[in-house]
Homo-oligomer: A and B are copies of this chain.
Amino acid sequence: MTDSMMTIGQMCESYDVTPRTLRFYEAKELIFPTREGQKRLFSKSDRARLKLILQGKRFGFSLEEIRQLLNLYSLGDQQTTQLTKTYELAQERLRDMEEKREELTGAIADLKEQLQWGDTVLADRGVKLAAE
């Protein structure tokens, strides 16, 4: 029942990325596809990691930052020291993300206010907007 494996083409289809991107991520040790002969096979784990990568990118994290975070999600066997470092790094990232969320909340509020302003200005000029 090794049907959980996917070829590179299927991966590209599923996650809307190019082969180049997947090979690049492998080279950067973000994912670890196995080989069947020459060809790459992507496991469920690879897919989970890819999801996190794409998510991380949306938040403006660099691939290197993401790579470190990813380790947190697969810390079965590591030595305790390494694990502790990873753990602390993740805490930092968490603070990062919570801070970003705060900021984002504020920015959204600001933007909404501006939009309201735009509303009235456009209304004053007699422009009808598409009802949301």
Contact A87 B60 (CB under 8 A): no
Beyond the given A59-B59, A80-B125, A97-B108, please list 8 additional residue pairs across the A-B interface where CB-CB is below 8 A: A72-B115, A73-B114, A83-B125, A86-B118, A94-B108, A94-B111, A97-B111, A101-B108
Which residues on A are within 8 Å of B, measured CB to CB? 55, 57-61, 69, 72-73, 75, 80, 83-84, 86-87, 90-91, 93-94, 97-98, 100-101, 103-105, 107-108, 111-112, 114-115, 118, 121-122, 125, 127, 129
A57-B60, A60-B59 given as contacts; is B97 within 8 A of A114 (CB)? no
Q: Which residue of B lies closest to A125 (CB)?
A: B80
A83-B118, A87-B115, A114-B90 given as contacts; is B73 within 8 A of A104 (CB)? no
A98 to B98: give the CA distance in the assembly, Å: 15
